[in-house]
Structure 1
Amino acid sequence: MSTKIRVAIAGIGSCASALVQGVEFYLRNPDNTIGLMYPEIGGYKTADIEFVLGFDIDERKVDTFLQEALYAQPNCNMQVIDPASKFQCIETNARTFRGPTLDGIAPHMRNYHPSITFQEDQKAHEISAAEYKDLLKKYQVDILLNYMPVGAEEASKWYITNAIEAGVHVINCMPTFISTDDARTLELLAIQHKVTIVGSDMRSSYGASRLSEVLQGSMMDAGLVVTQHIQMNMAAGTTQGQEHIINGRSANTDFLNMAEKARLYNKHVSKENVLSGQSIVRGKGLEGMTMFAGPSLTVVQRPGGAYMGTDNKVCNIDLVAYGFAGARYELTARLSVQDSPNSGGIVVDAIRFCRVAREMDIVGYLRGPSAWSQKTPPVQMTTADAKFECDAMARRVYTPITEQQKISHLYNGDILLKEKVKGLTFTFQKGKTEYE
């Protein structure tokens, strides 16, 4: 298929930079499929993705070409593509516009050195909601990626709801709309505008959430009971390609942003939803169990030297389980990854699933792709069930779940059948931790 999937990005940070560079890498190396879970989805390859528009609030990024913004500080992801070379996956003259700040910058982020934190623009024109919708339509945007910082609830809702009202599909890469009530409200809006959502809170292709889910699920499928699952994450180590630079490292902006506990509340909830989700889908109780996911241990260099961010993330997992005749099991795992590219492999799939779902006349939350790619999807699934749903959509095959989300099922002519919308499946999630 030759039709491009036109993508806009809200938040041109390290994850966005890694994603776009990755798409360009596979476009230039079409025979290399390492790192791609789905080389093709419904006939679409990564080369069919085109980035046409960006939004940000940092003075080093707004009113610049999108390609320039991808390499601007404080982005610290590994460089795959020479910034001086012309990107084929970015539309010519694609620019970055100044979005509203709202709660996009946490107060404590203003206290860090400029090279590792946000610098709010004070000069460029801040677009209104109406101007934002007009831009999405003018640039014929198919899909919006929401890459707002964790805790930016108002900013995320502004970008997401206005995009849906403009008829644009949404991939929500951060933890908002994570309670079932909020998710239901957002899905109704999406169905009314006949668009799809993948959300919420992007996983990595193979990161802490995937490893936690697989390890815990494999124990439970073997008949064990998991009584303790603790997952701790920290920013530590060096961005790939910078190992030769003798210098200390600070966390990337994602981790720095979550240094204040209040800022990471929803992230904490979302990561614990991964741990509890595997018990929920198997009908297992969690009463009295120790299930805890610490979103981040933020590391900052001491003053006096050159500040330098790192995109390396380390996850430590500890599990305790009991099995046959009460036999005890203990499992400890450590995973070190490049954080931003690790999410890129998931997002290139989510983009293509949204396009294929649109062509299959499916609307609302994509439950299989969301369960596969997100920490807090509308429906928690086992790893195998989520993969089954994704495999089916990649082949353009309907399942009992997607049959219920066809426009022909939810609409009678132009009339929306709200009772059928209410009947769509959700895993109940409260949007708060079990420790409250």
Structure 2
Amino acid sequence: MVKVALIGVGNVASALVQAIELAKNGKEIYGILDLPIKPYDIDVVAAFDIDKRKVNRKLREAIFIKPNVVDKYVDVRSDVIVMRGPTLDGRVGVLSNIIEESEEEPVNVVDILKKEKVDVVLNLLPTGAVNASSFYAKASLEAGSSLINSTPSPTAKEFKDQFKEKGLVILGDDLLSQIGGTITHAGIIEFLKNRGVRVLKSYQIDIAGSTEALVTLEDWRKDLKKSIKSSLISSYANGAEVVAGTSDYVEFLKDRRVSYMVIEGLYGIGIPVRIDISLKTYDSFNAVAPLMDLIRIAKLLTQRGYSGAVKEVCYYYFKDPPEKVKSIMDAKKSLDSLLNKLLG
């Protein structure tokens, strides 16, 4: 059993909690690793949020409350109550118009994590909540819990040494979707490079109807995400000009995301090639398989005596890991090698 605490009860939390429930009901989760710890062994024992519509509600209800837009796929059997976390920078800018801040006093997060014996804290806060991300990293350290940072905040970079000293695992930063625009974009560029194509320029536009898409309309959040996405794809593109980043919000799309990618290059004697791609996915469920893997891997790593920002895991599952590799294939080989050690 892996005991998990959720930081933020938004759309990704809704998708993950439902997927765990479906796994407990025998549903196959496509694309996850075959590990000794199974997805139905994941137990969400605590959840924190700041929205008064969710605080003090049962998690099984809170995951379907606005502004969440993920559809209901299963009745979740959970009596976990969503607790009031500290606001910090979780309600800055456009979020102040989306979140209805609870008037409740924040709970003592460290005490809750200790009481529930949380193995893994999962940070699902909005893009830009840097101070809140740091708060929960410090709380995890004090409580003796490992941490997964799915947000763009540079938490794994900043706290990796402290987690290592404490004998705890921290994994991050900025989760890569299972089959989202960024990993698809990077994968196609890597394929072209392996076929001898000289990639010259490429761009990616993402449109969605989730809260995350809305908040990234703010320039500073958009620039943060654009920088991380472009940097990852550029690292695979051998100096090509790359621009990637969420560009617009369309409310009726809800959790659907549409990604457009254009890649231009040269092959043969300098003949031009252009690839245009439209990718349509459900955004929040793109996080489910990677998070299920990461939660279970974090537990296994701790059991085997690993600590800090384990690079082989961060390489493969995150857009902005503390250290980077130059190809998706290299990242996968590193992960496979680590898993062989863990499971051998």
Name the TM-score, length of structure 2 as normaliser. Answer: 0.94
Matched with 2:19 is: 22
Q: Tell me the CA shift for residue 202 of structure 1.
A: 0.9
CA 1:134–1:109 in structure 2 vs 1: closer, same or farther (change >3 Å)? closer
- Secondary structure of the residue that 2:184 maps to in structure 1? helix
Matched with 1:204 is: 177
Deviations 1:355-380 (A, max 9, x none): 11112211111222222211111222
Matched with 1:299 is: 250
Deviations 1:335-361 (A, max 9, x none): 000000111111000101101111221
Instruction: Decide which structure has the larger Cα Rg and report it.
Output: 1
Structure 2 CA distance for aligned equivalents of residues 296 and 62 of structure 1:
31
Contact 1:14 1:77 survives alignment (8 Å): yes
Contact 2:29 2:289 survives alignment (8 Å): no
Q: 1:353 aligns with which of 276, 284, 297?
A: 297
Residue 374 (1) aligns with residue 318 (2): yes
Contact 2:258 2:278 survives alignment (8 Å): yes
Structure 2 CA distance for aligned equivalents of residues 164 and 58 of structure 1:
25
Q: Percent identity?
A: 28
Aligned residues: 343
Q: Which runs of 5+ in 2 are unaligned?
A: none
Q: Tell me the CA shift for residue 141 of structure 1.
A: 0.2
Q: Post-superposition, which runs of at least 4 consecutive aligned residues in structure 1 deviate over 4 A?
A: none
Q: 2:99 aligns with which of 118, 127, 130?
A: 118
- Secondary structure of the residue that 1:16 maps to in structure 2? helix
Residue 58 (1) aligns with residue 51 (2): yes
Contact 2:59 2:80 survives alignment (8 Å): yes
Matched with 1:253 is: 211
Deviations 1:48-102 (A, max 9, x none): 10000000000011112222221221111122113xxx52xx4xx4221111111
Residue 218 (1) aligns with residue 191 (2): yes
Q: Tell me the CA shift for residue 33 of structure 1.
A: 2.9
Q: Tell me the CA shift for residue 309 of structure 1.
A: 6.6
CA 1:64–1:169 in structure 2 vs 1: closer, same or farther (change >3 Å)? same
Query: In the alignment, residue 161 of structure 2 is paired with which amino acid?
Result: L
Matched with 1:290 is: 241
Query: In the alignment, residue 203 of structure 1 is paired with which amino acid?
Result: L
Residue 161 (1) aligns with residue 141 (2): no
Query: In the alignment, residue 96 of structure 1 is paired with which amino acid?
Result: V
Q: Tell me the CA shift for residue 397 of structure 1.
A: 4.1
Q: Tell me the CA shift for residue 162 of structure 1.
A: 2.0
CA 1:389–1:332 in structure 2 vs 1: closer, same or farther (change >3 Å)? same
Contact 1:76 1:311 survives alignment (8 Å): yes
Contact 1:160 1:170 survives alignment (8 Å): yes
Query: In the alignment, residue 98 of structure 1 is paired with which amino acid?
Result: R
Matched with 1:431 is: none
Deviations 1:4-37 (A, max 9, x none): 10000000001001001001111101xx435233
- Secondary structure of the residue that 1:316 maps to in structure 2? strand
Structure 2 CA distance for aligned equivalents of residues 309 and 327 of structure 1:
38
Contact 1:106 1:263 survives alignment (8 Å): no
Matched with 2:28 is: 33
Q: Tell me the CA shift for residue 225 of structure 1.
A: 1.9
Structure 1 CA distance for aligned equivalents of residues 91 and 231 of structure 2:
26
Query: In the alignment, residue 337 of structure 2 is paired with which amino acid?
Result: A
- Secondary structure of the residue that 1:215 maps to in structure 2? helix
Q: Tell me the CA shift for residue 311 of structure 1.
A: 0.3
Aligned pairs for 1:226-241 (under 5 A) are 226-235=199-208
Q: Tell me the CA shift for residue 44 of structure 1.
A: 1.1
Matched with 1:95 is: 81
Structure 1 CA distance for aligned equivalents of residues 341 and 304 of structure 2:
7
Query: In the alignment, residue 155 of structure 1 is paired with which amino acid?
Result: A
Name the TM-score, length of structure 1 as normaliser. Answer: 0.75
Contact 2:32 2:292 survives alignment (8 Å): no
Structure 2 CA distance for aligned equivalents of residues 135 and 101 of structure 1:
17
- Secondary structure of the residue that 1:72 maps to in structure 2? coil
Contact 2:222 2:245 survives alignment (8 Å): no
Q: Tell me the CA shift for residue 398 of structure 1.
A: 8.6
Query: In the alignment, residue 110 of structure 2 is paired with which amino acid?
Result: K
Contact 2:176 2:317 survives alignment (8 Å): yes
Q: 1:365 aligns with which of 299, 304, 309?
A: 309
Contact 1:7 1:49 survives alignment (8 Å): yes
Deviations 1:280-339 (A, max 9, x none): xxxx3x2xx421012231224xxxxxxx67000000000011122222211111100000
Matched with 1:263 is: 221
Structure 2 CA distance for aligned equivalents of residues 357 and 278 of structure 1:
28
Root mean square deviation, CA, Å: 1.9
